[in-house]
Protein backbone atom coordinates (compact mmCIF):
# COMPACT_ATOMS: atom_id res chain seq x y z
CA UNK A 1 0.00 0.00 0.00
CA UNK A 2 1.35 3.41 -0.99
CA UNK A 3 1.75 6.06 1.71
CA UNK A 4 -0.43 9.17 1.26
CA UNK A 5 2.28 11.78 1.93
CA UNK A 6 5.03 10.22 -0.13
CA UNK A 7 6.77 12.33 -2.77
CA UNK A 8 4.98 12.41 -6.09
CA UNK A 9 1.53 11.90 -4.55
CA UNK A 10 -1.16 14.40 -5.48
CA UNK A 11 -3.20 15.64 -2.54
CA UNK A 12 -6.46 17.56 -2.54
CA UNK A 13 -6.16 21.02 -1.05
CA UNK A 14 -9.15 23.20 -0.26
CA UNK A 15 -8.88 26.71 -1.59
CA UNK A 16 -11.02 29.43 -0.09
CA UNK A 17 -12.20 32.53 -1.82
CA UNK A 18 -11.19 34.82 1.01
CA UNK A 19 -9.98 38.30 0.22
CA UNK A 20 -6.68 39.49 1.56
CA UNK A 21 -7.25 41.95 4.36
CA UNK A 22 -4.93 44.95 4.70
CA UNK A 23 -2.74 44.76 7.77
CA UNK A 24 -3.18 48.04 9.64
CA UNK A 25 -0.69 47.01 12.30
CA UNK A 26 2.37 47.56 10.16
CA UNK A 27 3.88 50.98 10.70
CA UNK A 28 5.50 50.94 7.28
CA UNK A 29 2.14 50.48 5.55
CA UNK A 30 0.57 53.34 7.49
CA UNK A 31 3.50 55.64 6.69
CA UNK A 32 3.35 54.62 3.04
CA UNK A 33 -0.36 55.43 2.90
CA UNK A 34 0.28 58.79 4.53
CA UNK A 35 2.86 59.45 1.85
CA UNK A 36 0.35 58.50 -0.87
CA UNK A 37 -2.13 60.99 0.58
CA UNK A 38 0.47 63.76 0.85
CA UNK A 39 1.65 63.25 -2.72
CA UNK A 40 -1.94 63.21 -3.98
CA UNK A 41 -2.69 66.34 -1.99
CA UNK A 42 0.39 68.08 -3.37
CA UNK A 43 -0.61 67.23 -6.94
CA UNK A 44 -4.16 68.41 -6.31
CA UNK A 45 -3.04 71.61 -4.60
CA UNK A 46 -0.71 72.36 -7.51
CA UNK A 47 -3.70 72.05 -9.86
CA UNK A 48 -5.81 74.36 -7.67
CA UNK A 49 -2.94 76.86 -7.49
CA UNK A 50 -2.68 77.02 -11.27
CA UNK A 51 -6.45 77.48 -11.48
CA UNK A 52 -6.34 80.30 -8.94
CA UNK A 53 -3.48 82.01 -10.77
CA UNK A 54 -5.49 81.86 -14.00
CA UNK A 55 -8.52 83.24 -12.13
CA UNK A 56 -6.32 86.06 -10.85
CA UNK A 57 -5.48 87.13 -14.40
CA UNK A 58 -9.21 87.53 -15.08
CA UNK A 59 -9.87 89.46 -11.86
CA UNK A 60 -11.77 86.54 -10.37
CA UNK A 61 -9.41 85.89 -7.44
CA UNK A 62 -6.72 87.65 -5.44
CA UNK A 63 -3.92 86.00 -3.52
CA UNK A 64 -4.59 88.34 -0.60
CA UNK A 65 -7.37 85.91 0.32
CA UNK A 66 -4.59 83.69 1.68
CA UNK A 67 -3.54 86.51 4.03
CA UNK A 68 -7.05 86.45 5.48
CA UNK A 69 -6.69 82.69 5.98
CA UNK A 70 -3.46 83.27 7.91
CA UNK A 71 -5.16 85.89 10.08
CA UNK A 72 -8.19 83.67 10.75
CA UNK A 73 -6.05 80.74 11.83
CA UNK A 74 -3.64 82.84 13.86
CA UNK A 75 -0.62 81.57 11.94
CA UNK A 76 0.29 85.03 10.70
CA UNK A 77 2.35 85.48 13.91
CA UNK A 78 4.97 83.09 12.51
CA UNK A 79 5.92 85.39 9.64
CA UNK A 80 3.98 88.67 9.88
CA UNK A 81 5.93 90.33 7.04
CA UNK A 82 4.38 88.00 4.46
CA UNK A 83 0.87 86.94 5.49
CA UNK A 84 0.00 85.77 1.96
CA UNK A 85 2.83 83.22 2.06
CA UNK A 86 1.80 82.03 5.53
CA UNK A 87 -1.81 81.69 4.42
CA UNK A 88 -0.77 79.77 1.33
CA UNK A 89 1.20 77.32 3.48
CA UNK A 90 -1.88 76.80 5.66
CA UNK A 91 -3.85 76.19 2.44
CA UNK A 92 -1.14 73.78 1.25
CA UNK A 93 -1.17 71.90 4.57
CA UNK A 94 -4.93 71.48 4.33
CA UNK A 95 -4.61 70.27 0.75
CA UNK A 96 -1.88 67.77 1.63
CA UNK A 97 -3.16 66.49 4.98
CA UNK A 98 -6.78 67.25 5.83
CA UNK A 99 -8.50 66.69 2.48
CA UNK A 100 -6.54 63.53 1.54
CA UNK A 101 -7.41 62.01 4.93
CA UNK A 102 -11.08 62.77 4.40
CA UNK A 103 -10.92 61.45 0.85
CA UNK A 104 -9.18 58.25 1.96
CA UNK A 105 -11.86 57.60 4.55
CA UNK A 106 -14.95 58.66 2.58
CA UNK A 107 -13.83 58.19 -1.02
CA UNK A 108 -15.17 54.68 -1.36
CA UNK A 109 -18.69 56.01 -0.70
CA UNK A 110 -18.57 58.52 -3.56
CA UNK A 111 -19.91 57.69 -7.03
CA UNK A 112 -17.45 56.29 -9.54
CA UNK A 113 -15.50 53.13 -10.19
CA UNK A 114 -12.01 54.59 -9.64
CA UNK A 115 -10.60 57.08 -7.16
CA UNK A 116 -9.97 59.58 -9.98
CA UNK A 117 -13.66 59.77 -10.88
CA UNK A 118 -14.68 59.78 -7.22
CA UNK A 119 -12.24 62.62 -6.70
CA UNK A 120 -14.17 64.84 -9.10
CA UNK A 121 -17.23 64.57 -6.84
CA UNK A 122 -15.02 65.16 -3.81
CA UNK A 123 -13.58 68.28 -5.43
CA UNK A 124 -17.08 69.63 -6.04
CA UNK A 125 -17.99 69.04 -2.40
CA UNK A 126 -14.95 70.81 -0.97
CA UNK A 127 -15.36 73.63 -3.49
CA UNK A 128 -18.59 74.69 -1.77
CA UNK A 129 -16.66 75.54 1.38
CA UNK A 130 -13.89 77.27 -0.55
CA UNK A 131 -16.36 79.32 -2.57
CA UNK A 132 -18.00 80.72 0.54
CA UNK A 133 -14.82 81.20 2.57
CA UNK A 134 -12.65 82.93 -0.03
CA UNK A 135 -15.15 85.02 -2.00
CA UNK A 136 -14.73 88.77 -1.97
CA UNK A 137 -17.31 91.15 -3.51
CA UNK A 138 -14.53 92.77 -5.55
CA UNK A 139 -14.07 89.52 -7.52
CA UNK A 140 -15.74 88.96 -10.88
CA UNK A 141 -18.42 86.53 -9.65
CA UNK A 142 -19.02 84.38 -12.78
CA UNK A 143 -15.28 83.99 -13.26
CA UNK A 144 -14.75 83.22 -9.59
CA UNK A 145 -17.39 80.48 -9.65
CA UNK A 146 -16.12 79.00 -12.91
CA UNK A 147 -12.38 79.06 -12.25
CA UNK A 148 -12.52 77.93 -8.63
CA UNK A 149 -14.96 75.12 -9.45
CA UNK A 150 -12.82 73.85 -12.33
CA UNK A 151 -9.71 74.13 -10.14
CA UNK A 152 -11.33 72.08 -7.38
CA UNK A 153 -12.61 69.47 -9.82
CA UNK A 154 -9.00 69.25 -10.98
CA UNK A 155 -7.87 68.91 -7.36
CA UNK A 156 -10.18 65.97 -6.80
CA UNK A 157 -9.18 64.31 -10.05
CA UNK A 158 -5.47 64.76 -9.34
CA UNK A 159 -5.82 63.47 -5.78
CA UNK A 160 -7.81 60.46 -6.94
CA UNK A 161 -5.48 59.72 -9.85
CA UNK A 162 -2.51 59.59 -7.49
CA UNK A 163 -4.49 57.30 -5.17
CA UNK A 164 -5.28 55.06 -8.15
CA UNK A 165 -1.68 55.01 -9.34
CA UNK A 166 0.11 54.59 -6.02
CA UNK A 167 -2.41 52.29 -4.36
CA UNK A 168 -1.47 49.51 -6.77
CA UNK A 169 2.04 49.53 -5.36
CA UNK A 170 2.98 46.90 -2.79
CA UNK A 171 2.65 47.71 0.92
CA UNK A 172 -0.13 50.28 0.60
CA UNK A 173 -3.38 50.10 2.50
CA UNK A 174 -5.38 52.60 0.42
User: Tell me: the pLDDT tens digits for 33-75?
Assistant: 888 889 999 999 999 999 999 999 999 999 999 999 999 889 9
Q: How far apart are CA 142 and CA 115, in angstroms?
A: 29
Helices 115-134 and 141-166, axial angle in degrees (round to 10): 150
Q: Where are the domains of the chain?
A: 27-166
Q: What pTM did the predictor assign?
A: 0.79
Q: How far apart are CA 125 and CA 156, in angstroms?
A: 9
Sorted by sequence, the CB contacts under 8 Å of residue 146 that are 6+ apart come out as 60
pLDDT tens per residue across span 105-164: 898 899 999 999 999 999 999 999 999 999 999 999 999 999 999 999 999 999 999 999
Amino acid sequence: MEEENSPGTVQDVELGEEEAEPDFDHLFGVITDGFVGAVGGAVGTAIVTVGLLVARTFGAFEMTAFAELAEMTGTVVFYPQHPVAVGYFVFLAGGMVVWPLLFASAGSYLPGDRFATRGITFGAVIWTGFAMAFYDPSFWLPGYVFFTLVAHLGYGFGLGAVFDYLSTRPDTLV
